[in-house]
Chain A
Amino acid sequence: MKRRTDDVTAAAGGTSGRTPNARRRGRNGEEPMVPRATFDSYYGRPVIKAPGWSARDIAGYFFLGGLAGAGSVLAAGAHLTGRTATATVMKLSSLAAITLSAAALVNDLGRPGRFANMLRVVKPTSPMSVGSWLLSAYGPCAGAAALCAATGRLPRAGVAATGAAAVLGPAVAAYTAVLAADTAVPAWHGVHRELPYVFVASATAAASGMALVLAPSCESGPARCAAVLAAAGEISTMSAAERRLGMVAETYREGRAGRLLRAARVLTVAGAAGAALYGRRSRTVAVGSGVMLLAGSACTRFGVFAAGVASAEDPAYTVRPQRAAKDREGLRGAAGCA
């Protein structure tokens, strides 16, 4: 237990006071015999358990999965429009990203040797089960598309694999938002409507960043355009998410999460602006912008992850919104009876 109880009281009491009743005995100046937070929480202890996942593995997986999935769409578009160099590098990038992300997932298991149990059942109520099946369909497609493009063999199979990866890719990029949101973690579940859009915008930024880094500038028109769309999408969906969260939005602004998400905003906007304004003229700027977009996307995922952990570790973020919801319900109930 690192958090002291008076920190919790400060966190709970110092916020905008959206909870209708700033209730509880012991708040009103009398010298408390026991920690004041006892009245809002049990010795400041978290109500729910934060995920035991390592940020490197799981936030890293969110980033890499997005990069791979969105990259497959970009690759298919490039393939279709004759931007062969872009298509090839993006297919290779998607294969590398999805391979790394699968490795991160297995590495994060408590029993890595039992990873195959993920495919023991098909369970639509478990986003992780859905995701495992999705990955096992997407991975081979991304692999085949990359191998055919790199070797120039079996072009027809390559086209089919490219198309399949482009259809499955967006699902790979979006489902991780559901994975995070289908938990009791206040900063994730609270934005279960917005998070998928944040994640696909971030994935688009990453993929277009990768294209700017790897592909020749003469082919990078679509990537530059996508980078701008992604940046606009990410900024607007993130602010919608924060509005939805009310007091829990603090977790997106403070501490490690706050730093990461501020960095993400700066990097994404700067990357998109650089790409749009000078990405065609200067190869150096294109590469620099691409790196910023990639870094921005990673910061978004690590920031959202950190916000979730912070919101789980502080009982205020579990208790206060639930209390507010319960009081609202109570009022409705009373009105109904009257």
Chain B
Amino acid sequence: MTHHLLSGPEHDPARDAGHENAPPRVGFFTDTSVCIGCKACEVACKEWNAIPEDGMAFTGMSYDNTQGLGASTWRHVAFVEQSVPTGGGRTRLPLVSGGGTGGGEVRWLMSSDVCKHCTHAACLDVCPTGSLFRTEFGTVVVQDDICNGCGYCVPACPYGVIEQRPSDGRAFKCTMCYDRLGAGLEPACAKACPTESIQFGELDELRERAALRVDQLHKEGVTDARLYGHDPQDGVGGDGAFFLLLDEPEVYGLPPAPVVTTRDLPVMWRHAATAALSLMGGFALSFALSALPARTGRTRTGRRGRA
């Protein structure tokens, strides 16, 4: 694995982005084991950031009619209903009579998703206008007065977070309440969360707290508890917003091993350069071959000056 500023561990992204005297990097630790699915975070986020309504639908996806993160949804509470075998130290819910199959039980997993504020953020890397930038807090924010709606950040994000708002054309996503942070407040979602499932704070401290929480859950027999996005060695250099999950990430709609594709940019440019040269070479060869004496005897009417 190559190590450069495009990928790998990176202790202080704010300073790397040119913020001198940056405050400590902040982030979210979302502990889904205590999420009760109340959606207070979704509502608080919409309210504080004045995000427009983006459609109402009954999806049939458990209690989730929000469906996913997008231009006008910056916090999204996922509801996973699972049929699980009895036992195994899981949270057990009594079944409605006749609802069970094969002796299994149903459990709900709830998780409040958000922009990960990646250490190596693909959206920021590929933004051609500089609209996406790294704040002094180490978070990733779109400047909506600069964004020209090129849409490149949308497929670049390995988590499917950022999106263009159709009515507007520009890209939007979670700012980790940049305005509130500047005023010394915590983000609206964390403030509203009644169970402290969403914890806001200095990232280093959150990581320590999360490690303790996982240990505690493991001791209590919840062996499926695992952290997601906490590891600075992962494909995006660790997330500024990381999670404690109770199942595989893909169950919650999260990618199991996301990478910042800019990691491969040096390789891509090298291949593009070679390809560009081979294009030239191909034409050079074509001209050279047709400069060979034509065997059929038909000549090119004497126009050719130099061979």
B231: shortest Cβ distance to chain A, in Å? Answer: 12
In contact, B82 and A197 (Cβ under 8 angstroms): no
Cβ of A13 within 8 Å of any chain B Cβ, yes or no, is no
Given A47-B160, A170-B277, A204-B279, verify A52-B151 contact (CB < 8 Å): yes
Contact of B275 among A115, A196, A218 (CB under 8 A): A196
Q: How far is the CB of A285 from chain B (nearest CB, A)?
A: 16
Partner of A128, one of B128, B268, B285, B300: B128
Q: Is the CB of B253 within 8 A of A31?
A: no
Query: With an 8 A cutoff between CB atoms, is A3 at the interface?
Result: no
Contact status B128-A118, CB under 8 Å: yes
The answer, yes or no, to whether B122 is at the interface (CB within 8 Å) is: yes
Tally of A-B Cβ pairs under 8 angstroms? 303
B106 at the interface (CB under 8 A from A): yes
Expressed in whole angstroms, the Cα–Cα distance for A325 and B298 within the complex equals: 59
- Tell me the bound Cα distance from A286 to B171 in angstroms: 47
Instruction: Report whether A50 and B155 are in contact in the complex, using a CB–CB cutoff of 8 Å.
Output: yes
Q: Which 7 A-B pairs have the closest CB atoms?
A: A110-B149, A110-B169, A42-B253, A221-B290, A170-B276, A114-B148, A196-B275
User: Which residue of A45, A84, A189, A197 contacts B264 across the interface (Cβ within 8 Å)?
Assistant: A189
A196 to B294 alpha-carbon distance, docked (Å): 34
Q: Is B291 within 8 A of A117, CB to CB? A: no
Measured CB to CB, the nearest residue on chain B to A41 is B250
For residue A335, CB closer than 8 A to chain B, the reply is no
Task: Contacts A82-B305, A173-B276 given; indicate if A129 touches B128 (C-beta within 8 A).
Answer: yes
Task: Write the B33-48 contact mask toward A (1 if CB under 8 angstroms, else 0).
Answer: 0000000000000000
Q: Across the interface, do A110 and B150 meet the contact criterion of CB distance under 8 Å? A: yes
| Contact indicator per residue, chain B 245-282, by CB within 8 Å of chain A (1) or not (0) | 00000111111111001101101110111111111101
Size bracket of the B interface: 35 or more
Chain B residues 284 to 307 lying within 8 A of chain A, measured CB to CB, are 284-287, 289-291, 294, 298, 300-301, 303-307
Closest to B6 in A: A125
B contact residues around A118 at 8 Å (CB): 128-129, 148, 150
- With A110-B164, A184-B158, A315-B250 already in contact, 9 other A-B pairs whose C-beta atoms are closer than 8 Å: A32-B101, A33-B81, A33-B83, A38-B251, A39-B82, A111-B149, A170-B279, A178-B265, A323-B257
Q: A174 at interface (Cβ–Cβ under 8 A)?
A: yes
| Residue pair A184, B279 in contact (C-beta under 8 Å) | no
Interface 9-mer from A92-100, A225-233, A258-266: A225-233
* Residue B94 interfacial (CB < 8 Å): no
Q: Does any Cβ of A come within 8 Å of B147's Cβ?
A: yes
Q: Which residue of A lies closest to B291 (CB)?
A: A81
